[in-house]
Amino acid sequence: MLVILKRDNEEVNEQAAHLIAGAIKKKPSLVLGLATGNTMVGLYKHLVRLYRAGSLDFSQVTTFNLDEYLGLPASHPQSFHHFMQENFFRHVNVPPRNIHIPDGSVRGDYDAYCVSYEHSIRFAGGIDLQLLGIGRNGHIGFNEPTSSLASRTRLKVLSRETLDDNSKFFGPGEESPRCAITMGIGTILEARKILLLATGDSKAAAVAKSIEGPITCAVSASALQLHPDVTFLLDELAGAQLTQRDYYHRVLEMTALLTPNRLS
Ligand code: GLP
């Protein structure tokens, strides 16, 4: 596990864009797992900038988003489809046929739909690089506390904390979705490489538990400790409750010296 501590949000976005751009340059047909949320907005801006400057090409990239609210059509302004379209896809050249986001308007046999999403990931060769944010309760994707660490893509009931966090995005009187379709923790752990971004003090407790706490279903992101190639990219506020900050800085220095391609 690599923990990179940056000064602020802007530096986190810059470094994340650098890592993703590096991965695409190394493998133009990269299978990229994408995430939504405020944390990702700045990163997508950076990636769009690199694309417009002609230094990044997404024409062979395939993407899989982590999750989507159940019951929201793609056109709903709070859907993750809409978020991805507005913040990223409409500005870059990922071929539409290569874009995969769970379908929140699916009805009926949810299990069959979720199995088909997993199948599409496998058919694409598996996810090379999975981007993650983190919820205040430690969720990744919408894997709420007590999610099985072996879970696969499935329907998930949202926790009270997540409902509260999300309600501000919905209009007065508009009910926010109570369920979502999300890749499972087991699905996420199969990605070859994982990059988790967290900024701001509201994430500090979840980040510290995920990195330094025990592996537990009470903090879904703690399952990342089981993965051999995870990078946590944090700003000072999000990393504030970590007790081993000095060690992480030293590990980073040695990584830059001994295995610099982990950072490019
Ligand atoms: C949602 C998403 C997560 C994301 C989280 C954090 O719950 N399902 O994938 O990590 O929000 O969002 P934000 O970056 O807005 O704090």
Question: Mapped to the 3 state alphabet, what secondary structure does the chain carry?
Answer: CEEEEECCHHHHHHHHHHHHHHHHHHCCCCEEEECCCHHHHHHHHHHHHHHHCCCCCCCCCEEEECEEECCCCCCCCCCHHHHHHHHCHHHCCCCHHHEECCCCCCCCCHHHHHHHHHHHHHHCCCCCEEEECCCCCCCECCECCCCCCCCCCEEEECCHHHHHHHHCCCCCCCCCCCEEEECCHHHHHCCCEEEEEECCHHHHHHHHHHHHCCCECCEHHHHHHHCCCEEEEEECCCCCCCCCHHHHHHHHHHHHHHCHHHHC
Counting the structural domains of the chain, the total is 1
Q: Give the pLDDT confidence of 14-43 residue by residue, as tens digits.
A: 999 999 999 999 999 999 999 999 999 999
The residue segments making up the domain with residue 212 are 2-263
For ligand 1, is residue 200 a contact (CB within 6 Å)? no
Residue among 134, 164, 178, 210 to mutate when testing ligand 1 (max atoms within 8 A of CB):
134
For ligand 1, is residue 238 a contact (CB within 6 Å)? no
Give the CATH number, domain containing residue 127. Answer: 3.40.50.1360
**Summary mean pLDDT of the chain:** 96
Ligand 1 atom with least separation from CA of 38: 15
Question: Residue whose CA is closest, atom 13 of ligand 1?
Answer: 37
* C-alpha 257 to ligand 1 mean position (Å): 33
* C-alpha 258 to ligand 1 mean position (Å): 34
| Reported pTM | 0.97
Look at residue 97 in the predicted model and tell me its pLDDT: 98
* C-alpha 247 to ligand 1 mean position (Å): 28
For ligand 1, is residue 66 a contact (CB within 6 Å)? yes
For ligand 1, is residue 162 a contact (CB within 6 Å)? yes
Q: Give the pLDDT confidence of 196-242 residue by residue, as tens digits.
A: 999 999 999 999 999 999 999 999 999 999 999 999 999 999 999 99
Instruction: Give the active site residues.
Output: 67, 137, 139, 144
* C-alpha 228 to ligand 1 mean position (Å): 23
pLDDT band at 263 (very low <50, low <70, confident <90, very high): confident
Provide, rounded to the nearest whole percent, the portion of the chain with pLDDT above 90.
92
For ligand 1, is residue 79 a contact (CB within 6 Å)? no
For ligand 1, is residue 239 a contact (CB within 6 Å)? no
